[in-house]
Amino acid sequence: MVRLETPFAAIARPGRRIGHAVELHKTIGSTSDRARELLAVPGGAGTAVVAELQTDGRGRRGRTWTSPAGRNLMVSVAVRPALTASDAWRLGLAVALAARDACRTVAPIDLKWPNDLIADDGRKVGGLLVETLIDGERVDAAIIGIGINVNWAAAEMPAEIAGSATSLAELAGARTDRGALLAELLDRLDAEIAAIEAGGSPLDRYRAACRTLGSEVTVEVGTRTIQGVAAALDEAGALVIETASGRETVTSGEVVRVRPVVPA
């Protein structure tokens, strides 16, 4: 029996702040660019922009986000969160938890600091790109972009990522309904963003979901490489690394290697 996917357009929930409308593109440059444009359109904030194919998909740190047509979930939403600039860090953690919990309806997914969705063995299943626009003391807007490998077969993945990436379908052993996953994601984003606006902190739940903590890590920060043990996340979500020469606190960067601490 062929199981049909829930159509993306059926996921829209009028009245809901995140995902009151769903805009589906067969092909687009980047869903995040389109979501940003929608900020200038009355009622455009909160629209979920979904694409079957991106020709200019962007990842963190200037990388390209690659995904074949019609297999995976690529979605962006622009929001105007009621957050001060000093609380902007909460948004990235809240979005990561929403995405992780939506994926966990299908397979056991956790987080690699700061914004990767990973399988138990560390392979990447997805990533988040949260672009924040600050106006003085407050967050004016944020463009949340989420890419999740859903029905991408390992055999179809390009050689350069085949060893380090996987998909929900590979982990679950079955095709996943991308529409149902999008519905889970939008509901969770809505709830997580409302919670941080109400003053809640996602920090403890993020710490519990973050597989980076307690491991030996190699972190690239700009042109620097830091090696040590990922000891903690501080009160602003920054990664604290115990290195041979002392503690380093990293607010943004890329964990390029994670391995368990070997007892002395």
Q: Kindly provide the residue ranges of all beta strands, DSSP E only, lying in 84-223, ordered along the sequence.
A: 110-112, 116-118, 124-135, 138-148, 215-221
Q: How far is the CB of 137 from ligand BTN (least distance, A)?
A: 28
129 binds ligand BTN (CB under 6 A): yes
Nearer CB in complex with ligand BTN: 125/169: 125
User: Judged by CB under 6 A, which of 74, 171, 183, 186 binds ligand BTN?
Assistant: 74
User: Which pair of tokens denotes residue 221?
Assistant: 């920060």
Rule CB under 6 A: which of 220-249 touch ligand BTN?
none
Nearer CB in complex with ligand BTN: 55/245: 55
253 binds ligand BTN (CB under 6 A): no
Q: How far is the CB of 135 from ligand BTN (least distance, A)?
A: 23
- Count residues binding ligand BTN (CB under 6 A): 20
User: Judged by CB under 6 A, which of 47, 76, 149, 167 binds ligand BTN?
Assistant: 76
The answer to whether the CB of 228 falls within 8 A of the CB of 217 is yes
212 binds ligand BTN (CB under 6 A): no
User: Judged by CB under 6 A, which of 54, 149, 167, 176 binds ligand BTN?
Assistant: 54
Q: How far is the CB of 59 from ligand BTN (least distance, A)?
A: 3
**Strands lying side by side in the sheet with 254-260:** 246-250, 239-243, 224-233, 215-221, 254-260
| d(C-alpha 198, C-alpha 201), whole Å | 9
Q: How far is the CB of 117 from ligand BTN (least distance, A)?
A: 8
Which of these segments, 37-45, 71-79, 197-205, 225-233, binds ligand BTN (CB under 6 A)? 71-79
100 binds ligand BTN (CB under 6 A): no
Instruction: Using DSSP bridges, classify how beta strands 22-28 and 48-54 pair: parallel, antiparallel or unpaired.
Output: parallel
47 binds ligand BTN (CB under 6 A): no
| d(C-alpha 6, C-alpha 150), whole Å | 14
CA neighbor of 98 nearest in space, from 172, 173, 11, 209? 209
| d(C-alpha 253, C-alpha 242), whole Å | 16
Nearer CB in complex with ligand BTN: 78/84: 78
Is 219 exposed, middle or buried, given 0-12, 13-18 or 19+ CB atoms closer than 10 A? buried
CA neighbor of 237 nearest in space, from 193, 197, 207? 207
Longest dimension (CA), the chain: 60
Nearer CB in complex with ligand BTN: 3/26: 26
User: Which pair of tokens denotes residue 35?
Assistant: 């979501």
Q: Kindly provide the residue ranges of all beta strands, DSSP E only, lying in 149-223, ordered along the sequence.
A: 215-221
User: Judged by CB under 6 A, which of 19, 57, 81, 228 binds ligand BTN?
Assistant: 57
Rule CB under 6 A: which of 136-195 touch ligand BTN?
145-147
Residues that bind ligand BTN (CB under 6 A): 30-32, 54, 57-60, 63, 65, 74-76, 116, 127-129, 145-147
